[in-house]
Amino acid sequence: MALDKYGIAQRIAQELKDGMYVNLGIGIPTLVANCIPPGMTVILQSENGILGMGPYPLDAEVDADLVNAGKETVTLIKGAALFDSAESFGMIRAGKIDLTVLGAMEVSDTGDIASWKIPGKMVKGMGGAMDLVASAKNIIVAMMHTNPKGESKLLTACTLPLTGVGCVKKVVTELAVLSVTADGFVLEETAPGVTVEEVRSKTAGRLIVPANVREMKLS
């Protein structure tokens, strides 16, 4: 069966490595904070001014003044630091972030990402996504494979305003893990019970299917 959003976060957590500095975007990416493997040290950065963000708090741990960039309450790990957003974006723009995990509305098969605006709908601005996609060393997108209308979000070219060009390295959806190459999306893994044919039917962009496609392992 296809993964739920927590399953997507679990799979992305497998991309983490000890000692990484990681920024998690709003939505599904924030769930990765609760999936870091035991014994692994990963420093989570939030662009509103946190370095050393921990998992979501239990009810008894909630501090309304301690929030991430999506205004969700969070915890801090030992040694965490708090600072202003100017300092935070200085870290981002200086290339100090090893991995950024973002949600998206669309991703093209050349690695373009559209994640901030739907024409005709009012938004306050792009937020920190533009800086993150321009500066992070690695960018993984966590999103659903299709939109609410059932249309593919993995395209030959994005139709929505772009956040970044040629920057996405990998996409993890409820159906599959796909890497982005010069020749298009490469299907690396399918979710348990999901067939290659289903992924192919829901991917509008160029899709390369190797001879042997692994099934995801989440445990």
Would you please indicate which residues are annotated as catalytic (active-site) residues?
Answer: 47
- CB of 147 closer than 8 Å to CB of 108: no
Q: How many CB atoms lie within 10 A of CB 200?
A: 12
The answer to whether the Cα torsion of 50, 55, 56, 60 is positive or negative is negative
Class of residue 138 by CB neighbours under 10 A (exposed 0-12, middle 13-18, buried 19+)? middle
The span from the CA of 219 to the CA of 99, in Å, is: 22
Class of residue 125 by CB neighbours under 10 A (exposed 0-12, middle 13-18, buried 19+)? exposed
